[in-house]
Structure 1
Amino acid sequence: MVGPGWHHPGHDRENRVLRPPVSVTTEPGSLGSQPALFEYAWRLHQQDPDSPLPRDGEPYPDEKRHPHRQRVRTRKNQRLQGADVAAILEVYFGRADASPSELVDAFCEVDVPIHHNEHIAAAALRADRRRVRRTGRWLVRHSTDRCSATVGLALLATDWADEDIPLIQTIGLLSHRFGPLAAEALRRRSGGGQALLWLAQRVAGWGRVYVIEALCRDGAYASRRWLLRHACDGDYLNGYFAGQVATAAHLHEAIVGTEADDDLVDHTGRLLKIMAGCGGMGMTLEHYPPAPIVLAAHVAHLGRQRPTVDRYVDAAVIADQLADKTPERSGCTSEQRDDLVRQYLTVLDRQEWGDAVRAGLDPAGDFFAWFAGNPAARLHLRAFTGLTDGKR
């Protein structure tokens, strides 16, 4: 069991996020020579405490029992998903002398949901609260199999004890598998906001989607401030939550201020670039009512910033998306769309901006060829004039 003195590195007492110990050892009750998934995640985390685990920690130590892309599905009816797990838990909680270790291999032949599940939650809520908590902690801390560790996390996701935050955060670092339930479990706790922020800075891919979406529902000022500057990390999966970030973090209010900092302006550019072209994934500019206001504020701030390659590319992609689509697809009127494109081109065609992008992009690289031949060519950007047809 995790004690109240465990703290995650990088968080002080003001943040109220607990720190795990300097080292993790195998406690009595751990099974076999294969490491518990919790211990495995913690050891990987120690190697680079401020970054996501390499490849999300995959392959996991139990990979031989769970071949890649292979999942057991015993129920075709999605409404019954999780019922098999719940039935096993009902039997377990019905025996007063049952030990959590008996559940380690109990779920290998059933489909274990990785998201919140009503059947599993109901089974947990019908049982003794202290026993549910004790079972969940043991399974998360000691399970050598992902299925039982997932069930343990699902049990903790029905509880609210702050002392379990370090357990949840650590297993949540294996975010592709455990991210959804970790995010759900942290949101229920009084210290969950700061804990989610800590985890958001250390997950990528699908795990980041789950955690960012939870932060969008958190509503705390610290969460909104971080989301406005750091939510999007460049992964294409950012398209699933970019619109949620813009809405939940009140982007339209933050970006219109005259003192918006560079981090806010740069991240706004990333959000707009994503929302301009993420149809089929998440909210687009067409369905974002403040789009004209945010676009106008962004280009106004952009003109006062120092030119960099990233700023140039983001602005060019936004302008290209605006020019290439009907105004309605960008949430603008024709006049608004045309004026915004002109404003972006005015900045991009400045001599110092052209010099910055030419100095920063590798002319022999694939990205340069794509960018010069597509957005830059369609917009007739001066910095790239003649570079795709041999003219200088």
Structure 2
Amino acid sequence: MGTLSFLFDHHITPEDLPWHGLPAIYPHIKDNLDTEGSLNETGKILPDEEWRFHEGDLKWVPGGMDGAFGHHFGGNDQKRARNIVPLIKEIARSDSQAKKIELYNVLLADDLVGYIDPLLESMRQQELDPEPYLRNFARWLAQEGTDRGPVKFAIALLGLVGIPEDVELVALLGKHEEFTLYAAVAIHSLLDDPLLHIWNLAKHVSGWGRIHLVERLAKTDHPDIQDWLIREGYKNEIMYEYLAYICATSGDLKSALAEETIDEELLNSAGELIESLIIGGPAEDIDDYDDAPVAIQRYLAHLEPMAHTLQHFLFAHLINSYLSELKEHWTQRKKQGWNLEIRNTLLQTSQRILQRPLWKELVERDLTSDDSATFYTASQAAELLDIDTWDVHWKKLLDKPLEARHWYEIMRRANEERIVEIVKTAREHLELDKIAIGPGNDLGLGEEYARNHCLDFILQGLGQYPGTGQFLVEIALLSPVTRNRNMAIRVLSLWAQEQWTLEIETLLQEAFNREPNEDVQERIRRVLDGEPLDFDDKM
């Protein structure tokens, strides 16, 4: 079904078609797969970004909006669903071109996650006949849709009215993280045994799509999938903590570690899983993991003879810190099988690993590395070993002063003496006049805001040093990036008013008078009036 079929309705012109003349998403994805069948970097940029977003718009990572909304809020907008069902019914009944256009325009909002569940349930209750129109409409929309919202709906609709042969189309679209959630649900609906298809698709995505797919592998007893879960499945670009519990339990980490010997790949992946469980976050953590005592005991038994990298040192240190937590935590953990004898034994094992002279040698070596990951692992280990890394971080800052992470590391190591040199260097290297162009409502995202990001990290720690770097506060109050101005206000709120100069009060009053953002202006007023700021407020 192409544009011409719509034009058989003489009331519809090409200009009435919201997709007219625009590139479709399906061929874009199909044409941008690498030799492994995964999406290349060009393919990750959907065609509709050209007209959907404008400069300065906040953009989610692919699949981020649906992933975050689905995980943390859920969607059950019954009213939206009821409004859409009549359009679908008419398409199923008469193949109405006008209703297709109306539906497409509704779907352009790309808020399907807020009402897809009640919509599909309503459609099931209607028992709509897929033939002769509805299934073909879903296929057409999946292959010819030019906008992400309609394509998401097409995938969901195929899950309801499609046949097993439609899995190939759905899975290909699912290789883009923006559509993986919908593809996962559709594949489950289309196949009696979707497990291998879900696993195969999971290998081709690494962000929110990986999270959605691995969650659907949670009850597997397939040995190859279990092995993949504890070696690769938990790895994603969002947070390992989302999947650590699922992969440790469904992948049967405890049994994998029961082997007399394990390879280094499993040593590293098991360390990352235990690390993620201890850190915790948005999903189940170490206190939900009933196998924690046995898994950690077995892991340390392998780690002690095999540990030889700074990452291994960090694993051992985190486990040691966990085992050293206050007594009240362990009272609740007895139900998992923890007791004082097990803890003391494991503490001794982790201490033996941590006390090796090797670690300081590796830190000194790796702090000279040009590889970013190697350097920052060494920097993290150095901090735990009380090795001062100020000089190496300072050198990196001077080499690349527009990389914000260097300012972050330097400010973490600042003191009364060093802060003077830090603010002097900021004046010399950040071209502050390019920041102080006047207040606005910019989000400050992208490489063009590199200086603003650097200034953020300086301001983050400047509140500890009253009166130092006042010119940076003044610059920040003139920044078009709202975050910069908020952080400058926070600094001044931390500098006690009795330590203010008259210049600071004048500076704040002028900032208040020109501030375009009502929330920021209110914060300035509170600081001028000596009222405390709530630092939990969105800054």
Q: Does structure 1 residue 136 correspond to structure 2 residue 138?
A: yes
Q: 2:194 aligns with which of 192, 195, 203?
A: 192
Tell me the equivalent position of 1:16.
none
Distance in 2 of aligned mates of 1:170 and 1:114: 24
**Structure 2 residue identity aligned to 1:89:** I
1:350 paired residue number? 356
For the Cα contact (< 8 Å) 1:255–1:298, is it kept in 2? yes
Q: Which residue of 2 aligns with 1:117?
A: 117
Deviation at 1:363, TM superposition (A): 7.5
1:83-133 Cα shifts (integer Å, max 9, x gaps): 333332122213256599645445225842278513224415621234443
The aligned residue for residue 344 of structure 2 is 338
The answer as to whether partners of 1:36 and 1:142 remain within 8 angstroms in 2 is yes
* Runs (5+) with no aligned partner, structure 1: 2-28, 377-383
CA distance in 1, matches of 2:288, 2:313: 25
* Partner AA of 1:91 in structure 2: E
1:83 counterpart letter in structure 2: R
What is the rounded CA distance, in whole Å, between the counterparts of 2:95 and 2:39 in structure 1?
Answer: 40
In the alignment, which residue of structure 1 is the partner of 2:8?
Answer: none
Q: Show CA shifts across 1:215-268 (max 9, x none).
A: 224543332221121023264522122112212222222222224433333211
Structure-2 separation of matches of 1:110 and 1:58: 16
1:278 to 271, 277, 280: 280
Tell me which structure has the larger Cα radius of gyration. 2
State the secondary structure of the residue aligned to 2:32. Answer: helix
- Contact 1:41–1:170 (Cα < 8 Å) also in 2: yes
Alpha carbons of 1:304 and 1:30: their partners in 2 closer, same or farther (altered >3 Å)? Answer: farther
TM-score (norm 2): 0.56
Unaligned runs of 5+ in 2: 2-16, 60-64, 66-74, 392-539
Taking CA–CA contacts closer than 8 Å with sequence separation of 6 or more, which of the two structures ends up with the larger relative contact order? 1
Instruction: Find the residue that maps to 2:85 and give its secondary structure.
Output: helix
Offset at residue 276 of structure 1 (A): 0.1
Other-structure match for 1:9: none
1:56 Cα deviation (Å)? 8.0
Q: Determine whether 1:38 maps to 2:37.
A: no
Q: Matched residues in 1 for 2:287 and 2:22: separation?
A: 51
Mapped partners of 2:363, 2:83: distance in 1: 57
Using the aligned pairs only, state the percent identity. 20
SS at match of 1:204: coil
Q: Note the C-alpha offset of 1:152.
A: 0.5
- SS, match of residue 57 in structure 1: coil
Task: Measure how far apart 1:61 and its partner are.
Answer: 2.5
1:343 counterpart letter in structure 2? T
Q: Give the 3 Å change call, closer, same or farther, for CA 371–107 of structure 1 in structure 2.
A: same
* Alpha carbons 2:81, 2:116 under 8 Å: kept: no
> Within 2, Cα distance between the matches of 1:100 and 1:284?
48
Distance across 2 between alignment mates of 1:352 and 1:370 = 16
Q: What's the RMSD between the two structures over aligned residues?
A: 3.6
Structure 1: distance between partners of 2:116 and 2:268: 34
Q: Runs of at least 4 residues of structure 1 off by over 6 A?
A: none
In the superposition, relative to structure 1, how do residues 110 and 39 fare at CA in structure 2: closer, same or farther (>3 Å)? Answer: closer
Q: Deviations over 1:323-373 (max 9, x none)?
A: 345553776334433322321232233345654455345589555444432
CA distance in 2 between partners of 1:225 and 1:78 (Å): 39
Q: 8 Å contact 1:200–1:211 — kept in the other structure?
A: yes
Aligned to 1:206: 208
C-alpha distance in structure 1 between counterparts of 2:255 and 2:389, whole Å: 41
Whether the aligned pair in 2 keeps the contact of 1:82 and 1:112 (CA below 8 Å) is no
Query: Which residue does 2:85 correspond to in 1?
Result: 86
After TM superposition, the score normalised by the length of structure 1 is 0.74
Q: 1:321 to 1:38 in 2, by over 3 A?
A: farther
Q: Does the CA-based 8 Å contact 2:159-2:186 persist in structure 1?
A: yes
Q: Residues 158 and 272 of structure 1: is their aligned pair in 2 closer, same or farther, counting only changes over 3 Å?
A: same
- Mapped to 2, the partners of 1:355 and 1:83 lie a distance apart of 66
Give aligned pairs, total.
347
Equivalent position of 1:150 in the other structure:
152
